Amino acid sequence: MNQTGVLLLAVWTALALPACAWGVPANAGARAMCNPFGDPPAIVSGTSKPDCLQGQTLGPWQDADGYDRYACLWEPSAAAPLPLVIYLHPSVLGPQTVAKTGLLKYQNTISLSPGGPAGYIVLAPAGRRTLHHYPRPDEKGLGWDNWYRQLNPGGDVIVRGALYRPNADGAAIDHFVKLELSTGQVDPERIYVMGWSNGAAMAYLYGLNRPYIAAAVLYSAPDPFGALGDPCPQTPITGQPHDGAQIEIFNPALAVMHVHNSCDIAGLCPNAERMARQLRAVSANFNDAIIDYGGAQVAQCTLSCGADEDGAVTPGADFLGYSLGILEHTRWPKGWTPVMLDFLRSHPLSAGQITDGGPANESHHAD
């Protein structure tokens, strides 16, 4: 059975559980523990070395929590410097899902630099096994912590005397990006991030906080600022937050394309539309594409698959979202991959975004 089949089997097994077994996100008691950066850091159960297919395995590198981190790397045959595409995998599954997207298929034939040679580098960091604020069967497992939103590009932050360390996943991505930048193979004006599902949520959060990221392409992302009963939702803003209900972002100029299904898992289409409205309030460069089962772009969500802007945490509240929506969510829309790559090619760093070309690490203080 392939990976998608395993995931679907797990979902259908979970659907057979009584409704009372659903609807309680991991760390449901964390509401009282909300901090200036949303939820507490995720509870981690471990990591594992990923399957990098025919690519190169990077790591292990130990994160601040003491866990070994890895990444997969695929470099084309073209001469450097080349654009870099950071790919963040969906939860439960790992970096090898990049093979389902077409990114490796086009790696040697499509240029992400107008007038430049064909070819781009693909870097796919691996997440950790953690608890998630998602319903079963995705309440724990491999994935990304997009609920603890301390992704200040300077590193440590002190708020009212309390020290907040960087998001460990963001720091791991930073490490592997720096590692690849150090080779001289990367065009610093064309560093992009892409993601699928939970990986898309992390890609969105990461890109909005890293000024060296030129553009992000997301597929079927839950809103990393609030979805599916997250105890500590926040509104992204530019500038100093007034309270813990807001979170500052540091790269509002990020160009974003979000492709998502009109009927999506857990009724996430309306959640994606709310996410688009939030970002457009601070940046106009958000492109939203809703697609139907055949991949054609449509004008609106299928509300019979879920109408709640927070998504649905129980199958009883969203039967179609937990059936047809799952089928759509767990397959990458391959016909859209060239469109996604064209979007990236059209969005290098603007003059106002160009920094030193990579992540930094400093301490910051806030009142």
Q: In what order do the strands lie in the sheet with 56-62?
A: 56-62, 68-74, 121-125, 82-88, 186-196, 215-219, 255-261, 286-291, 297-298
45/26: higher pLDDT: 45
Residue range 304-316: average pLDDT?
87
Per-domain residue ranges of the chain: 44-350
Q: Which of 332, 268, 291, 304 is nearest to 135 (CA)?
A: 268
Ranges 205-219, 283-297, 307-321, most confident? 205-219
**Residue 354: what pLDDT?**
55
Share of the chain above pLDDT 90, in %: 71
Mean pLDDT is lowest, of 13-22, 74-83, 209-218, 270-279, for 13-22
Q: Is the per-residue pLDDT at 22 higher than 60?
A: no
> CB-based burial of residue 182 (10 Å sphere; 0-12 exposed, 13-18 middle, 19+ buried)?
exposed
312/125: higher pLDDT: 125
**Residue 172: what pLDDT?**
98
Q: Is the per-residue pLDDT at 286 higher than 70?
A: yes
- What's the CATH number for 44-350? 3.40.50.1820
Q: What is the pLDDT of residues 313-344, one digit of tens each?
A: 888 777 888 898 888 999 999 999 999 999 99
33/337: higher pLDDT: 337
pTM of the model: 0.88
Q: What is the pLDDT of residues 113-163, one digit of tens each?
A: 988 889 999 999 999 999 988 887 788 899 999 999 999 999 999 999 999
Average pLDDT, the chain: 87
**Contact residues for 138 (Cβ-Cβ < 8 A; gap 6+):** 91, 92, 132, 198
Share of the chain above pLDDT 70, in %: 87
Residue range 32-45: average pLDDT?
92
**Residue 4: what pLDDT?**
40
Distance (Å, whole) CA 167 – CA 150? 5
**Residue 31: what pLDDT?**
54
Residue 32 pLDDT grade (very low, low, confident, very high; cuts 50, 70, 90): low
Q: What is the pLDDT of residues 176-199, one digit of tens each?
A: 999 999 999 999 999 999 999 999
Q: What is the pLDDT of residues 212-241, one digit of tens each?
A: 999 999 999 999 999 998 999 999 999 999
Q: What is the pLDDT of residues 253-268, one digit of tens each?
A: 999 999 999 999 988 9
Indicate if the alpha-carbon torsion angle 321, 202, 145, 90 is positive or negative.
positive
**Residue 27: what pLDDT?**
42
Q: Is the per-residue pLDDT at 306 higher than 60?
A: yes
Q: Is the per-residue pLDDT at 64 higher than 90?
A: yes
User: Which residues on neighbouring strands pair with residue 86, listed in sequence order?
Assistant: 123, 193
Q: Is 159 helix (H, G, I), strand (E, B) or coil?
A: strand
**Residue 339: what pLDDT?**
97
Q: How far is CA 68 from CA 72, 89, 162, in A?
A: 14, 17, 27
Distance (Å, whole) CA 86 – CA 74? 11
Distance (Å, whole) CA 49 – CA 60? 8
Tokens at residue 78, please?
């073209």
Residue 363 pLDDT grade (very low, low, confident, very high; cuts 50, 70, 90): very low
